[in-house]
Amino acid sequence: MPNQDPPRNREAELLPDPFWAADLASLRGQDFALYWYRWQLGLTILAALFGTLPAHRVGGVNIAPVASLLLLAAAGATAWLLHRRAPQEQWYEGRSTAESVKALTWKYVVRAQPFEGEGRDAEADKRFNDLVGRLPYSAQDGPAPGAGTQVNAEMQAARAGTLRERRNLYVNERLRAQKVWYDSRANECDQKVQLWGVGLAVVFSAGLLIAALEATTFTSLHALGVIPACAAAATAWIQLRQYRPLAASYRLAAKELDRIAAGLSHLRPEAPGAETEWSHLAREAEDAISREHIVWRARSQHRV
């Protein structure tokens, strides 16, 4: 589950207000979720660490177990907070909505189905507003799409361009730029997989060493209990971030976008029926990009 970069300059000028509202909601949900998951996992590790300390009594009370109890209670409180607020639902739903608005915006701008027609088309404007208004949206952060028009001046100006201008804009600013984003995120996820793999190897190696020392030389060490807690926390974090599945998904999407961009680049704007063919091909291209939004939307249905 990646961080969402700000849109590129040309694209940022085109995107309407509902995108920015949903994007902000998603980023806030993501920040909230990751912040408190870090606390939950860290407090759990600290509770395990205090459980390994030797007895130290103050007023007849062993301090270490009390500290572990308090830390576990704090970890439980963060778990309850995450369940109550369900920030991942806001994160995923906001991301799905933002990307869906972006997909509709590009379809409108390049006159792809279902927004084919003239450069200034009141019916296309009405259809765009209607489809944006139907998108699922979490109102926890930022305003939901309103009843007014969501079509801005930049969208109308780009839509009024020639077929060649719209094709070049879409291929360069949407398809190729999105492919670069997917490739960079796939590489980043691969690096995180390797980094966390090394970290887990270190944790398990430390566990083997500590177990050997406790069994032979330092029989009173009692530090082995920390290792499973660290390993479980690292595994939980890896599962939360989904580095490996995302890397594979991004690479597959990048290849698909490369193929689509090559096909659209060969379209001859001056050929008979080019507008009709372009409307169909551009819609197919955007639908291919939008497949990932379905996954985000499905995830938003499951509270964590």
pLDDT band of residue 7 (cuts 50, 70, 90) is: low
| Nearest by Cα to 2 from 184, 156, 172 | 184
| Nearest by Cα to 153 from 15, 18, 23 | 15
- Residue 213 pLDDT: 84
pLDDT band of residue 14 (cuts 50, 70, 90) is: very high
Whole-structure pTM value? 0.82
Cβ density class 258-284: b for 16+ within 10 Å, e for less: eebbeebeebeeeeeeeeeebbebbbe
* Weakest mean pLDDT among 79-83, 155-159, 231-235, 286-290: 286-290
- Residue 139 pLDDT: 44
- Residue 298 pLDDT: 56
* Orientation angle between helical segments 226-241 and 177-216, nearest 10 degrees: 170
- Residue 196 pLDDT: 94
Dump pLDDT digits (tens) for 94-145.
Answer: 888 898 999 999 999 999 999 998 888 899 999 999 999 888 764 444 445 5
- Residue 50 pLDDT: 86
Domain boundaries, the chain: 9-300
pLDDT at 5 over 60: no
* Orientation angle between helical segments 243-265 and 163-170, nearest 10 degrees: 160
- Residue 267 pLDDT: 85
The residues facing 61 across adjacent strands are 58
- Distance CA(5)–CA(27), nearest Å, equals 10
pLDDT > 70 fraction of the chain, expressed in percent and rounded: 87
- Residue 304 pLDDT: 43
Cβ density class 158-176: b for 16+ within 10 Å, e for less: bbebebeebbebbbebbbe
Note every long-range contact of 142-148, with CB atoms under 8 Å and residues 24 or more positions apart, other chains counting: 142/20, 142/21, 142/22, 142/24, 142/25, 143/21, 144/18, 144/21, 145/17, 145/18, 145/21, 145/101
Is residue 51 within 8 A of residue 64, CB to CB? The reply is: yes
- Residue 1 pLDDT: 41
Per the model's pLDDT, the better-predicted residue between 287 and 199 turns out to be: 199
Copy the structure tokens of residue 61.
């009370």
Calculate mean pLDDT across residues 213-225: 76
- Distance CA(275)–CA(180), nearest Å, equals 27
pLDDT band of residue 225 (cuts 50, 70, 90) is: confident
Mean pLDDT over each residue of the chain, to the nearest integer: 85
Calculate mean pLDDT across residues 11-17: 91
Dump pLDDT digits (tens) for 31-63.
Answer: 999 999 999 999 999 998 888 877 677 777 778
